[in-house]
Amino acid sequence: MEPAGGRRAVRQVHQGGRGRGRHPPRRRLHQRARPHRRARRAGRRRRAGRHPVPGRYRLDQGGVPRGASDRRRAAARPARGQPRRGGRDAAGGGGRAAERRDRFPGRLPDGLHRGDRRLGVRRGERARRRPVGARLTVRARLIRPPALRTGDAERASSWLELLFDLVFVIAVTQVGLALHGNLSAPGFVRLAVLFVPIWWAWVGYTNYADRFDSDDVVFRLLVLAAMLGMSVVAVAIPDTFHHRSQVFAVAYAAVRALLIVLYLRARRHVPAARPLCDATISVFVVGTALWLGSLAVPEPWRFLVWAAALLIEGATPWLARRAMAAVPYHASHLPERYGLFTLIVLGESLAAVVFGVRGGDWRAGSMTTAVLGFGCAAALWWLYFDGVDRAAVGRGLLARNTFIYGHLIVALGLTLFGVGIKEAILASDGGDLPAGGWWALCAGPAMMLVALALVRQAARQPGAGRAPLVESAAAVLLLAVGAIGGHLSPELLTGTVTALLVATVATNLLTAQAEAA
């Protein structure tokens, strides 16, 4: 006799109410094996001292997962007089929930990331700051993403930055040697055309390293490649205005392209600095395109394209002023870097004194001029390192930008002084000092004094007092001496410049002492 509903109902009973066929549907292989996989994983993690999922197993009053064996429960039983684990009377309180959080935390401690498990850090370990000599994986040692470093308390120039400066020493020396052979108005214009790109290349990498220096393999390789590009720029300087300017343009564009790559890397890893990176990358892309586009322009007009590119790149501190306010410079590292570069350029002036003496006949005139030239260099060192306020980079937009642009004038003035003192030493043995020589000897220190006065005034340096006024007056007197330099002997001209600089140093010291009293 058929059941109610007929044969269709019988088929539904055998099929379990769904599907077709005579037998109930079987579970798939991976569905049947899943509980066994979970059990094996849980066993391996339990033996390794880690729990697979926090809170998966509940703990009893003894701190042992429920369902554990009697032997394990007896081993976990506290001694007489000791508080039970996981109970309300345990040290720290919190009951079983606190015990479960202590044994199997749901997240890693503060300061550690998911990838730190590969570094030997397991769940449940206390978070502590990783020491300098901690074990790291090969990738962590070689590749570290950029991070904002303007908040570091103690920071000094790295060895890579010092090596980077040495390449620019070669470039500055090449610029000075190029001016020696052409001490005329076009020669000074060529000096500016060659010196300003070198300066801005150094400023670009210095400002980037001040904020995002990661000192990993990627950063080092990119900076070393930029150093190689600057070496090519230095080699191309003597022939730049002799139908070889395309080498200078291509090498400089390569240096800029590497800096763009660094900023793209910082933009990816430092979200807070993305507005600054976007503005800087946009300006540098336009400047690099102009440098490469100048190759299609004939050489007399090519330098105008270079000037346009330099104006665009030089406007970066003003175009990105809002983004720079959100990502400030380091208060001590950046002034130190600019001071080191100034010291390097000043060292070129001392080298010019040595080379001038070596090229002479060791007579009384050349030796006297050399000694006076050394006194000039010492006075310029005194004025700079006692006069520039290191905290100017943190006192607003005007003070920061005046500090940056002012150092361009300082470096250019010191380069001119080095050329002028060498020409004066060579002319002390009876030769004639050309007009470009005495103007370089007088205008170079004057430019530096004007730049120092502007930096002091813009920063509103405490205790500066009348120093900007004194330095401005000394610059005017130096220009007046340069106007009559053709009527003075090289020894007298160098002595007059030295006397004015020493008098400026003495006046600043006396004024500062009087105001302090």
Alpha carbon of residue 249 to chain centroid: 24
**DSSP-assigned letters across all residues of 132-150:** TT----HHHHH-------T
- Domain ranges for the chain: 154-327, 331-516
Cα 368 to Cα 312, 362, 419, 489: the distances in Å are 45, 10, 17, 12
Between 286 and 434, whose confidence is greater? 286
What value, to the nearest 5°, has the Cα angle with vertex 378 and ends 373 and 383? Answer: 125
Between 402 and 305, whose confidence is greater? 305
Look-up of token digits 């470093």: 149
Burial 66-95 (b: 16+ CB within 10 A, else e): eeeeeeeeeeeeeeeeeebbbbeebeeeee
Percentage above 70 pLDDT, the chain: 69
Tens-place pLDDT, residues 335-345: 889 989 999 89
pLDDT the model gives residue 416: 92
Tens-place pLDDT, residues 27-44: 555 444 455 666 777 767
Residue 201 predicted with pLDDT over 80: yes
pLDDT the model gives residue 498: 94
pLDDT the model gives residue 257: 96
Residue 64 predicted with pLDDT over 90: no
pLDDT the model gives residue 284: 93
Tens-place pLDDT, residues 103-142: 444 444 444 444 444 444 444 444 444 454 444 555 666 7
The answer to pTM > 0.95 is: no
Nearest-angstrom CA–CA distance, 93 and 86: 8
Tens-place pLDDT, residues 390-441: 666 666 777 888 888 899 999 999 999 998 998 888 888 777 788 888 899 9
Look-up of token digits 């979200």: 271
Residue 213 predicted with pLDDT over 90: no
Tens-place pLDDT, residues 142-189: 788 888 877 666 778 889 999 999 998 889 888 888 887 788 888 888
Tens-place pLDDT, residues 472-495: 999 999 999 988 888 888 889 999
Nearest-angstrom CA–CA distance, 408 and 410: 5
- Taking alpha carbons only, the member of 274, 329, 390 closest to residue 151 is 329
CA torsion, ordered 83, 84, 86, 90, to nearest 10 deg: -10
Residues 175 and 237: beta-carbon distance below 8 Å: yes
Nearest-angstrom CA–CA distance, 283 and 406: 21
Provide the token pair at 56: 């998966």
SS3 at position 50:
coil
pLDDT the model gives residue 157: 84
pLDDT the model gives residue 58: 45
pLDDT the model gives residue 12: 47
pLDDT the model gives residue 461: 60
Residue 307 predicted with pLDDT over 70: yes
